[in-house]
C-alpha cells in the first residue's frame, strides 16, 4: 500500500488503542516481542511523538504467545473449544447463522461490532449484516462509549463529530471546562494541551466526583455527586443569565430555542443546584467568572456526563452553556466530546450502528437508503430497517436472537449488568467470535476465528477530531491468521452472496467513499494516497474535482468549505481568522482540503442555526437508599484499556495495574473497619464484586469507584445499571447504588 517510511525498514502507523490515535513508527526488531519496536514519530500533530505506556508496549500484543493462531470449534462430545481448519470453522459459522435464520427468520441473527474496528471493517460488517444476512439486528460497543454526546451533537448542531476543531486548539483557548474526563490517565499525551493552555495564562476547570490526576491540574475542581452534571450545567447557565453574561447578539443570529432553554435554567437557582450537586454556590460563581472572562472558552465532555440515563440531556445542557455565551461556531471556542475508543468516531459513521448507514446517514431516510442500496447493488426495499441498540440487542440473545456474530468486542467484561449478559450469551443457539486473543467472550463461542490486528494489516481509523488516519501493515501476521475482511468475504460466499466482498482494505475504502458521498460524514475526497501524503484528512471532504491540482497549502489551518453544513471562514473567503487558507475556496482549484474546523459560518442544521436543548434535572435511575447507601461510579486506569482483552496480556502493563480495586474515602473505610488492601464486597441489586480497598481522600465520602477492566470476581460491570438514555440508548455506567462490606476471608 502507499506510505512513506520515516527511515529504512520503519513504517509509520498509529496506536491500536484510544481515540487519540497517536502517531508512532514501527521498526523491525528481531528478538523483540512482536518482532518490532516502537519509535517516536514527532511529525504527527496530535501527539507530537509522545505515547503512553499502552501505546509504547503495543507490539507485545502481536506476539504469538498471547495470540490465537488457529480457528477453534466447540466439539459436541467434549464441550470444549478445539483446533479446526479454516474450512471447517467457516462452514460451521455459515451454517450456524443460516440455520438460525431458516428456523426463526433473518432477525434471529445478530451482529455485534466494535469501536476498535477500522473504518473498512466497520463498513464491511454493516454491509454484511444488511445485504448478506439481511438482518436489522446489528449494533456495536461504541453505543457504550460516546452515543449520548453523538445524540446531543446531532440535535444541537445537525452533525456529530467528536471535536469540531483540532485538539491543538485546546491549548490556544482561554478557559476549558473538562467534564468527566480523566485524560491524564486515559490519553496522557492530550494532557500537554491543557498544560500549554495554563502556561499561556488560560484556566482549567475539571468536573469530576473524584480528584483524579486530571483534576489535580485544575485551577478549579468541581466535585459533584455522581449523576448530577446536568443540574450543575443548568446552575451555571442560570448564573450566566443572572450576571448578564449572555451573548445576545450570537443567540439571536445563530441559535434557536433560547427562550425555552433560558426558562428551564432559571428554574434551577444556585442554592437548589448546590443542594442537588453538593457544589457550593461560590464555586459555581467562580466557574462562570473564569469561563466568561476568557475571550474564548470550551467545554469538553467525556464518559462522566455521557454514561448516564440522562446523558443526552446532560450533554445538551453543557452545549447550552456554550451557545448562550457565544462560545460556539467560531475559532478557539466551542463544545467537543473526547471520544474513547480508537475508532469510536469512524465506527459510528459507516453503518455498524443499529440506526445508521454509511456516511452517517439515517437508516429510515428513503434518499439515504436509495443511495446506499445503489452502491451495494441491491433493491432499497431489501434493506432492513433500524434494529436494537447494543444493550437491548445483548439482552435479546437467546430470546428473539438465536445466533450471533461478534467482532472486536468483549461484552462479558464491558457490558452493564455483565453477569446477566454473560448468561444471555451462554443461552444462544450459536455464537461465532472473531478476535485476536481468546477473550472472556470468545471463550463462550461455538466457533472462534483468529484474525489479524493493527500492525499486521492496513486500514484507516478516524480519531476524536474527525481526522482520518492510515494504519499501515508493518509485520506479517502469524501463520494461520486471516483478516476480518477475508472472513466476511468467505462467509458471504458461503451464504450465497454472489457480488463479491473485497478483502483488500483500499478497495473497501474506495467503496466506503462512494457510499458516504453526499452524506454527513462525506469521505469521498479522501484517498489512501492523500492520507499518507497529508498525515490525516478531516471529514467532511467531498470528492476531488476533475482535473484538480494536487498542491497543498495551509493544511492544518484550512477551514471547512462546507458544501452542506460547515461554512468557509467568517468572511466567506475561505480564510480563517489567523489567515490559514481553505485553498480550494481561496483560489478555486485543487481538491477539497478537508474540514479541520466546523460550524464557523453556519451550523449543519437545515436553517444553519444551532438548537438549544430544553432540559431539566432528574435523578439517576437508581439513587442511594437505606439498603444501598452509596454511589458507585466506574472508570479507567492508566495502564489498562477498556475490557483489558489486549492490555491484560502485556506484562509491563499488568505489573503497573495488576487488578481491580475499590477506591473509598478514609471516613467510609473507618466506618467499615477496613484497612488498605482489605477485600471489600461491593453489592447492588444486580450482583456483587470483590476487590481490595484503596483508601484515598481523592473521592467523595458518599461514593466508591471501581475500574472496569477486569473479569472474575472483581468485575465492576457486574454491578452497573443498564438503565438506558431514552434517546442515545446509553446505559448508566457512571452511577448506581451499592453497599460496601468487608468480604468474608478466604
Ligand atoms: Fe496515544 Fe491513546 Fe495509544 Fe496512549 S492509548 S499511545 S494516548 S493512542
Burial class (CB in 10 A: 0-12, 13-18, 19+), 702: middle
Residue 207 has what pLDDT? 98
Among 210, 237, 238, 240, smallest CA distance to 222 is for: 210
d(CA 515, CA 178): 35
Pocket perturbation via mutation, ligand 1, pick of 42, 47, 50 by most ligand atoms within 8 A of CB: 47
Residue 556 has what pLDDT? 35
> Does the structure show a pLDDT above 70 at 474?
yes
Pocket perturbation via mutation, ligand 1, pick of 46, 49, 54, 454 by most ligand atoms within 8 A of CB: 54
d(CA 210, CA 185): 13
Contact 310, 725 (CB under 8 A): yes
> Does the structure show a pLDDT above 60 at 576?
no
Contact 266, 236 (CB under 8 A): no
Ligand 1 centroid vs 677 CA: distance in angstroms? 30
HSE at residue 498, side-chain half, CA atoms within 13 A, is 0
Determine how β-strand 36-39 pairs with β-strand 23-28.
antiparallel
24 CA closest ligand 1 atom index: 6
Q: What is the mean pLDDT of residues 483-500?
A: 97
- Domain 92-145+348-513 = CATH 3.90.180.10: no
Q: What is the mean pLDDT of residues 719-738?
A: 97
Query: SS3 of 257, please?
Result: coil
Find the angle CA(52)-CA(598)-CA(462) to the nearest 5 degrees: 40
Largest CA distance in the chain: 76
190 CA closest ligand 1 atom index: 7
Contacts of 197 (CB under 8 A, 6+ apart): 170, 171, 172, 173, 176, 203, 204
Cell of 379: 433493491
Report which protein residue has its CA nearest ligand 1's atom 4: 52
Q: Mean pLDDT, the chain, as a whole number?
A: 92
Contact 594, 539 (CB under 8 A): yes
Terminal CA-CA length for the chain? 56
Ligand 1 centroid vs 414 CA: distance in angstroms? 19
Query: What share of the chain in percent tops pLDDT 90?
Result: 89
Among 88, 125, 138, smallest CA distance to 492 is for: 125
58 CA closest ligand 1 atom index: 3
Contact 446, 468 (CB under 8 A): no
Q: Please, which pLDDT band fits residue 579 given cuts at 50, 70 and 90?
A: very low
Pocket perturbation via mutation, ligand 1, pick of 57, 182, 188 by most ligand atoms within 8 A of CB: 188
- Which residues share a beta bridge with 470? 460
Q: What is the mean pLDDT of residues 67-86?
A: 97
Q: Please, which pLDDT band fits residue 229 given cuts at 50, 70 and 90?
A: very high
d(CA 313, CA 212): 25
d(CA 389, CA 144): 10
Ligand 1 centroid vs 115 CA: distance in angstroms? 15
Q: What is the mean pLDDT of residues 243-261?
A: 98
> Does the structure show a pLDDT above 50 at 569?
no
Asked which of 95-99, 310-314, 448-452, 580-584 is least confident by mean pLDDT, the reply is: 580-584
Residue 545 has what pLDDT? 53
| 198 membership: H or E segment, kind and range | helix 191-199
Q: What is the mean pLDDT of residues 413-426?
A: 97
Compute φ and ψ for 277, nearest 5 degrees.
Answer: -95, -25
Domain(s) labelled CATH 2.40.40.20 in the chain stretch across 630-742
Q: What is the mean pLDDT of residues 505-518?
A: 97
Q: What is the mean pLDDT of residues 490-504?
A: 96
Query: CA separation (Å) from 694 to 362, 647, 743?
Result: 46, 22, 14
- What ipTM did this prediction achieve? 1.00
Query: CA separation (Å) from 584 to 327, 568, 664?
Result: 27, 10, 56
Asked which of 213-217, 570-574, 584-588 is least confident by mean pLDDT, the reply is: 570-574
d(CA 706, CA 388): 29
Domain(s) labelled CATH 3.40.50.740 in the chain stretch across 92-145+348-513
Query: CA separation (Å) from 238 to 183, 250, 290, 614, 667?
Result: 28, 18, 15, 13, 34
Residues with CB under 6 A from ligand 1: 15, 17-18, 20-22, 47, 51-52, 54-55, 187-189
Q: How would CATH label the architecture of 159-337?
A: 3-Layer(aba) Sandwich (3.40)
Asked which of 3-17, 220-234, 238-252, 281-295 is least confident by mean pLDDT, the reply is: 3-17
Handedness of CA 454, 458, 461, 467 (dihedral sign): positive
> Does the structure show a pLDDT above 60 at 643?
yes
Residue-wise over 131-157: b if at least 16 C-beta within 10 A, else e?
bbbbbbbbbbbbbbbbbbbbbbbbbbb
Contacts of 130 (CB under 8 A, 6+ apart): 136, 138, 351, 376, 383, 384
Ligand 1 centroid vs 122 CA: distance in angstroms? 21
Q: What is the mean pLDDT of residues 147-158?
A: 96
Per DSSP, the residues of 336-349 read EE---BTTHHHHTT
Contact 246, 324 (CB under 8 A): yes
Ligand 1 centroid vs 139 CA: distance in angstroms? 25
Contact 181, 191 (CB under 8 A): no
Q: What is the mean pLDDT of residues 500-528?
A: 96
| 671 membership: H or E segment, kind and range | helix 666-672
HSE at residue 334, side-chain half, CA atoms within 13 A, is 27
Report which protein residue has its CA nearest ligand 1's atom 2: 18
d(CA 681, CA 672): 11
Asked which of 63-77, 405-419, 559-573, 670-684 is least confident by mean pLDDT, the reply is: 559-573
Residue 3 has what pLDDT? 41
Pocket perturbation via mutation, ligand 1, pick of 14, 15, 16, 58 by most ligand atoms within 8 A of CB: 15
Residue 558 has what pLDDT? 37
Under CATH, what is the fold of the domain 630-742?
A: Barwin-like endoglucanases (2.40.40)
Domain(s) labelled CATH 3.40.228.10 in the chain stretch across 159-337
Compute φ and ψ for 691, nearest 5 degrees.
Answer: -160, 160
pLDDT tens readout for residues 674-691: 999 999 999 999 999 999
Per DSSP, the residues of 223-237 read -PPTT-HHHHHHHHH
Ligand 1 centroid vs 732 CA: distance in angstroms? 25
d(CA 439, CA 624): 34
Amino acid at each position: 500500500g502507499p506510505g512513506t517510511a520515516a527511515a529504512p525498514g520503519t513504517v509509520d502507523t498509529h496506536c491500536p488503542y484510544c481515540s487519540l490515535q497517536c502517531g508512532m513508527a514501527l521498526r523491525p526488531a528481531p528478538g523483540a516481542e512482536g518482532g518490532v519496536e516502537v519509535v517516536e514519530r514527532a511529525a504527527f500533530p496530535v501527539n507530537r511523538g509522545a505515547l503512553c505506556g499502552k501505546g509504547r508496549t503495543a507490539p507485545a500484543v502481536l506476539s504469538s504467545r498471547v495470540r490465537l493462531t488457529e480457528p477453534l470449534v466447540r466439539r459436541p462430545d467434549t464441550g470444549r473449544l478445539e483446533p479446526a481448519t479454516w474450512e471447517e470453522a467457516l462452514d460451521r459459522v455459515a451454517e450456524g447463522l443460516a440455520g438460525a435464520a431458516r428456523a426463526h427468520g433473518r432477525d434471529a441473527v445478530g451482529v455485534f461490532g466494535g469501536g476498535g474496528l477500522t473504518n473498512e471493517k466497520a463498513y464491511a460488517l454493516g454491509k454484511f449484516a444488511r445485504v448478506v444476512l439481511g438482518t436489522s439486528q446489528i449494533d456495536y460497543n461504541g453505543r457504550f462509549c460516546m452515543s449520548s454526546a453523538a445524540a446531543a451533537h446531532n440535535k444541537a448542531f445537525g452533525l456529530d463529530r467528536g471535536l469540531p476543531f483540532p485538539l491543538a486548539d485546546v491549548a490556544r483557548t482561554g478557559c476549558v471546562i473538562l467534564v468527566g474526563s480523566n485524560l491524564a490517565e486515559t490519553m496522557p499525551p492530550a494532557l500537554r494541551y491543557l498544560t500549554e493552555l495554563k502556561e499561556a495564562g488560560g484556566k482549567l476547570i475539571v468536573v469530576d466526583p473524584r480528584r483524579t490526576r486530571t483534576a489535580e491540574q485544575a485551577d478549579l475542581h468541581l466535585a459533584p455527586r455522581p449523576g448530577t452534571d446536568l443540574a450543575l450545567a443548568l446552575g451555571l447557565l442560570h448564573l450566566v443569565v443572572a450576571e448578564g453574561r449572555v451573548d445576545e447578539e450570537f443567540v439571536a443570529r445563530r441559535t434557536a430555542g433560547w427562550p425555552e432553554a433560558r426558562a428551564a435554567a432559571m428554574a434551577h437557582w444556585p442554592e437548589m443546584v448546590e443542594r442537588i450537586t453538593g457544589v457550593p454556590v461560590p464555586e459555581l460563581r467562580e466557574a462562570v467568572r473564569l469561563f466568561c472572562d476568557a475571550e474564548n472558552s470550551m467545554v469538553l465532555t467525556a464518559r462522566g456526563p455521557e454514561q448516564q440515563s440522562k446523558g443526552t440531556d446532560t450533554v445538551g445542557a453543557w452545549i447550552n452553556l456554550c451557545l448562550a455565551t457565544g462560545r460556539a461556531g467560531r475559532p478557539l471556542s466551542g463544545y467537543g466530546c473526547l471520544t474513547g475508543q480508537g475508532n469510536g468516531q469512524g465506527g459510528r459513521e459507516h453503518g455498524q450502528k443499529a440506526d445508521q448507514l454509511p456516511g452517517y446517514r439515517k437508516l429510515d431516510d428513503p434518499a439515504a437508503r436509495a443511495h446506499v442500496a445503489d452502491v451495494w447493488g441491491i433493491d432499497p426495499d431489501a434493506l432492513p430497517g433500524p434494529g436494537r441498540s447494543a444493550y437491548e440487542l445483548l439482552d435479546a440473545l437467546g430470546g428473539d436472537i438465536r445466533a450471533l456474530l461478534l467482532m472486536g468486542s468483549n461484552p462479558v467484561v464491558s457490558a452493564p449488568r455483565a453477569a446477566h449478559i454473560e448468561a444471555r450469551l451462554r443461552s444462544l443457539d450459536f455464537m461465532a467470535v472473531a478476535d485476536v486473543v481468546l477473550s472472556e467472550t470468545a471463550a463462550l463461542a461455538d466457533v472462534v476465528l483468529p484474525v489479524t490486528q493493527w500492525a499486521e494489516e492496513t486500514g484507516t481509523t478516524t480519531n476524536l477530531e474527525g481526522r482520518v488516519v492510515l494504519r499501515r501493515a508493518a509485520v506479517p501476521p502469524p501463520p494461520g491468521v486471516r483478516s476480518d475482511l477475508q472472513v466476511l468475504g468467505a462467509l458471504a460466499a458461503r451464504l450465497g452472496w454472489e457480488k463479491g466482498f473485497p478483502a483488500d482494505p483500499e478497495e473497501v475504502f474506495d467503496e466506503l467513499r462512494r457510499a458516504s458521498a453526499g452524506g454527513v460524514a462525506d469521505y469521498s475526497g479522501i484517498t489512501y494516497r492523500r492520507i499518507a501524503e497529508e498525515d490525516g484528512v478531516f471529514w467532511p471532504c467531498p470528492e476531488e474535482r476533475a482535473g484538480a491540482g494536487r498542491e497543498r497549502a495551509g493544511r492544518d489551518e484550512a477551514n471547512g468549505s462546507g458544501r452542506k453544513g460547515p461554512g468557509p471562514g467568517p468572511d466567506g473567503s475561505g480564510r480563517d481568522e489567523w489567515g490559514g487558507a481553505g485553498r480550494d475556496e481561496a483560489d478555486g482549484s485543487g481538491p477539497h482540503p478537508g474540514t479541520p474546523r466546523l460550524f464557523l459560518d453556519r451550523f449543519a442544521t437545515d436553517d444553519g442555526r444551532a438548537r438549544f436543548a430544553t432540559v431539566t434535572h432528574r435523578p439517576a435511575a437508581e439513587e442511594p437508599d437505606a439498603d444501598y447507601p452509596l454511589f458507585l461510579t466506574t472508570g479507567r486506569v492508566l495502564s489498562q484499556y477498556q475490557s483489558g482483552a489486549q492490555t491484560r496480556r502485556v506484562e509491563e502493563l499488568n505489573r503497573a495495574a495488576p487488578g481491580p480495586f475499590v477506591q473509598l474515602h478514609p471516613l467510609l473505610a473507618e466506618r467499615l473497619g477496613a484497612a488498605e488492601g482489605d477485600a471489600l464486597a461491593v453489592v447492588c441489586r444486580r450482583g456483587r464484586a470483590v476487590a481490595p480497598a484503596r483508601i484515598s481522600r481523592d473521592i467523595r465520602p458518599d461514593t466508591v469507584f471501581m475500574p472496569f477492566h477486569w473479569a472474575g470476581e472483581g468485575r465492576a460491570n457486574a454491578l452497573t445499571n443498564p438503565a438506558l438514555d431514552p434517546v442515545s440508548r446509553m446505559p448508566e455506567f457512571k452511577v448506581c447504588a451499592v453497599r460496601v462490606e468487608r468480604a468474608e476471608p478466604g
